[in-house]
Amino acid sequence: MRNHKLSDSFRNAFRGLRQAIARERNMRIHVAAAVLCILLGIVCRLDPVSWAVLFIAIGLVVVTELINTAVEKLVDMITTEYSAKARAVKDIAAGAVLVAAIVAVALGALVFIPPLLRLAGLQ
């Protein structure tokens, strides 16, 4: 399954991204949250540094969710029987997504609270 052309690599990567969005509920939740954050960023007229922080946070969550999904699929492919080790692997991968989401929420608060306070006339 080796890619012979660079375009094949990109095509495969986009296919994987589409599959994750189409088949994984949590990925759809993350994408929806990202869209809402981007729309809120437009409303708040974020500065370039805040946009950079926002996109880094979004990227962090999406990347960890993709890795988590890949780990879960691989574990399911390797074993169909219950295994405490397989469960631990899945739980650890899910924990990475949780940490990324917590970091993203903290960054989102730092990015959005000041402009929201200004918009509300409280600052």
Taking the C-alpha atoms of residue 92 and residue 102, their distance in angstroms, rounded to an integer, is 15
Q: What are the φ/ψ torsions at residue 46 (nearest 5 degrees)?
A: -60, 150
Task: Please list the active-site residues.
Answer: 65
- Chain centre distance of CA 21: 11
Q: Residue 46 is which amino acid?
A: L
C-beta atoms surrounding 85 within 10 Å: 9
Contact partners, residue 3, CB within 8 Å, separation at least 6: 9, 12
Please, are residues 97 and 65 in contact by the beta-carbon 8 Å criterion? yes
